[in-house]
Structure 1
C-alpha cells in the first residue's frame, strides 16, 4: 500500500489521486491536492488514502473503521459517484481518481462529512418496534413472535449501514435539505412492515408531513448508490402504499383496478399489472 517507489507494481503504473480538501481552521475554502501512488493488487481507495496519509501528508482527514464494507464510515465521492472507499478497487477506476466529501452534507474537514442530520432524520421516524401494550413493552413477559416468512417482508431494508451514500445521491435532498431522505424513509418502512410493530400511525406524523415521503420524485439514485442493495427507492414506494392502505401485515392488498374501456389496447389485459420487482 505504500505510496513510495519501493511499492511499485510490476508494470510501474501510477495512479493520480486528486482530493478536494477543506480545513475550517484555515478558512481558505476548498482546494484540490494531488498525489501519485503505485497501486498494489487488491488496493482499495481507502488503502490509497491511508498510504497518502502515511507517506505524504499526515494532515489528510477521512473517516474509516472496519475496512470491510460493514460499518459505513468511509463514504465519499469517488470519480463522481458516492461509494464506500473500502469497497472500491483502485485498479477499476482508471489512471486518475478524484475524491471529495459526500455532497448534501456539511464538511467537517477534507473527506469527513457531518452525518448529524442523517442520524437526526433517522431518529425522527422512530426506528424501533412500537407496540400498543406499553406495559408489555416496558417489562416483557414473552417474546414477540415472528416467523421466518414474516421476516422476509422487511429484512432487505434492515441491511442499512447508515453510510449516507443514498442521501448524497438524492436529487431531492440536494434541492430540499429538510426532506427526510431515502435512508430515514426506507427505515420507516422497515419497522412499519415488521409484523411485531403497531407504530405506523405514530410514524405517519413525521413521514406523511410536508417534507416527508411524498416529496420523493422516484429518481432511483439512492438505490443505485446503496452498497448493500437495500433499495431505498422501493422502500419509499412501499411506505407510500402503507400510508394509503395500511402496513402489509395489517391489511389485505388493495384490489387492482381495471382499466377503463377506452384506455385498453387491443388484446391487452384489462387489469393494471404491477411493476417487476427490483431485487
Structure 2
C-alpha cells in the first residue's frame, strides 16, 4: 500500500499577509522639505512606497520616516483627530493627516504634502505655532465670573448650552486660521480659531467677560478683518461653522446683545 505525502499549505496568517499585500498600491508622496541647518530654501522630494489605499496619510508619513528617511519631521500625537497636531496641506487643502485616507486623494497621481500656510516653517512640516496660541490666549478662553465662589455647580439650561455648542468642538489645529487669505497676508490678524474660542465664552450664559472679549476683537486686527471667504469653514476638520460664528461675534459687537 502506497501513501502520498502532501505538503502542508500556508496557514491563515500567511494567507492574511498575502491578501493584505494584494491590496497595496504604489503611491508617490511629494513632500515639501525644509531644514534650516542644510539650506535656507525649501525643496520638494518624492517618496514612492507600497501601501494599502485604505490607510491614512499619517500612516504613509510614518512608513516614510521609519523605513525610508528618518530625517522627515512632522507633528502627531493621538492619531485620531482629537489633538489637532498633524494639520498640514495635503493636495493643496488643509487637512488632518490622521483623518485623510489615501484612497480619497487620487493616489494614481503624486500626493503633495506641505506645511500649513501663514506661519514660519521650523523644519519640514512643522511650523511655529506660538503666534497662533498667543492669539488664542489673548481672547481669554476661560470662564470669567465675579462675586463669591458658588457652593454648587453653575447650572445652565439645555437651550443656553446649545447656543455655543458648535464652537466647543475646536481642537486648535490651526487648519481654519492657516486657510485664511487675510491671515496669510497679515499675521497680526487674530484669525478664525481665536474668534471661535472667544465665541464659545461670549455666548456662554455663565460667563461675565463678554464685553471684554468683544472689545479685544473690536481691534483693527480683530473680527472686522474677516472677508467672509468661507475658507475657514471648509478647512475645519470638526465641521464647525466658523464663518457663522464670526458673523455672530460681529453682530454682537454692533448690538451688544449676546
TM-score (norm 2): 0.88
| Correspondence for 2:96 among 84, 100, 108 | 84
Structure 1 unmatched ranges of 5 or more: 1-5, 249-279
The CA distance in 2 between the partners of 1:7 and 1:85, in whole Å, is 26
For residue 100 of structure 1, the aligned residue among 91, 98, 114 is 114
- 1:125 and 2:139 are equivalent in the alignment: yes
The reply to whether residue 37 of structure 1 matches residue 49 of structure 2 is yes
1:113 paired residue number: 127
> Helix, strand or coil for the counterpart of 2:22?
coil
Counterpart in the other structure of 1:202: 212
- Distance in 2 (CA, whole Å) between partners of 1:235 and 1:61 is 34
Alpha-carbon displacement from aligned partner over 1:239-262 (angstroms, at most 9, x marks no partner): 0111112243xxxxxxxxxxxxxx
Deviation at 1:8, TM superposition (A): 7.7
Matches within 5 A, 1:4-15: 9-10=21-22, 13-15=25-27
Distance 2:228 2:201 in 1: 21
Matching residue of 1:221: 231
Alpha carbons of 1:41 and 1:30: their partners in 2 closer, same or farther (altered >3 Å)?
closer
Distance 1:41 1:18, change over 3 A: closer
Correspondence for 1:267 = none
- Distance (whole Å) between structure 2 residues aligned to residue 70 and residue 7 of structure 1: 31
Aligned partners of 1:146 and 1:9: how far apart in 2?
A: 54
1:175 Cα deviation from its structure 2 partner: 1.3
- Write out per-residue CA displacement over residues 82-112 of structure 1, whole angstroms, 9 at most, x where no aligned residue: 0000000011112211000111111111011
Structure 2: any 5+ residue segments left out of the alignment?
1-17
2 CA distance for matches of 1:20 and 1:152? 41
CA contact (8 A) 2:30 2:112 kept: yes
CA deviation string 1:138-181 (max 9, x = no partner): x4322211112211000110000100000111011011211100
3-state SS of paired residue (2:51): coil
Q: Residue 54 of structure 1 corresponds to which residue in structure 2?
A: 66
Contact 1:8–1:38 (8 Å) recurs in 2: no
Structure 2 partner of 1:159: 169
Report SS of the residue matched to 2:88: strand
CA distance in 2: counterparts of 1:132 and 1:221, whole angstroms: 38
Q: In the aligned structure 2, how far is the partner of 1:31 from the partner of 1:66?
A: 29
Distance 1:59 1:7, change over 3 A: farther
**Mapped partners of 2:175, 2:29: distance in 1:** 21
Give the total of aligned pairs: 239
2:258 equivalent to 1:244? no
TM-score, L = length of structure 1: 0.82
What SS class does the counterpart of residue 135 from structure 2 fall into?
helix
Q: 2:91 matched to 1:75?
A: no
